[in-house]
Amino acid sequence: MDAQSIVSIKNVSMQFNLVQEQFSGIKDLIIMATKGKLKFLNFCALKDINFNIKRGESWALIGENGSGKSTLLKIISGIYKPTNGSVLVNGTIAPLIELGAGFDLELTARENIYLNGAVLGYNRKIMNKYFDEIIEFSELQEFIDMPIKNFSSGMVARLGFSIATAVHTEIIIIDEILAVGDYAFQQKCYKRMEEMKLNGTTVIFVSHNEGQVRRMCEYAAWLVHGEIRMKGKVDSVYDGYRQYIENKNGEYS
């Protein structure tokens, strides 16, 4: 990794073994596995991915569903280990990848602030310092002592984003989580992300919303069937992706 890079992705491939047979429950699965009757399909989600992200840059990962965007985010975050290749990360990460990840649905929002903070590597002293700011930004003052199993998806997104962005982090990773929030809260989130970028935070962003991608990111990597088709300045890459989709849908035929 060179001195300017905060994320270095080298020759990364990721394979999954998918069960081909149908089974009615875990008991059937165990019986079939014991008898050696399970057949697996080898699925390659990512194929030889290479690129570097420099400190302070903002990158979008774009592509159709199933192109490998979320898998790559999970590898960068350390959730998955790649089948081949390596990812080197030189900074702290706040991942916002799956709605409710790091939360205990039976606990209150208050309790989950400390729990999720611990998952992100923040001790109780730090969370005490930022507690009021988290509640104020999330606009969940009235629901702070309610179990989050009773929260809407938008409320969970508010809480997760507020926790992840309250403490300065060097890298923030966002996978479509803002899509569930209402418009006004989305605008608050984008404003905070702009402030984080100005303060040197590196942003890695997945969204199917063209406006969000062009607004938030300087660069983009376009994935097709687990391979990078194009990478570079966001406008050029998204223009190529958009033309590909329009041609595929027959709009120029």
Interval 147-169: pLDDT, tens: 999 999 889 989 989 998 998 89
Domain with 91, as residue range(s), is 54-248
Does a structural domain hold residue 34?
no
Does a structural domain hold residue 17?
no
Minimal CA–CA distance to 205: which of 229, 228, 178? 178
Provide the pLDDT for residue 8: 96
Minimal CA–CA distance to 154: which of 130, 186, 132, 131? 186
Number of domains in the chain: 1
Contacts of the segment 195-201: beta carbons below 8 A, 24+ positions apart: 196/165, 196/168, 196/172, 197/56, 197/58, 199/168, 200/55, 200/56, 200/170, 201/56, 201/168, 201/169, 201/170, 201/171, 201/172
Provide the pLDDT for residue 75: 95
Provide the pLDDT for residue 245: 92
CATH code for the domain of 238: 3.40.50.300
Provide the pLDDT for residue 253: 36
Q: Do 242 and 210 touch, CB atoms closer than 8 A?
A: yes
pTM of structure: 0.82
Does a structural domain hold residue 7?
no
Does a structural domain hold residue 36?
no
Which tens digit of pLDDT belongs to each residue from 170-199? 999 988 776 666 788 888 888 898 999 999
Does a structural domain hold residue 90?
yes
Provide the pLDDT for residue 206: 92
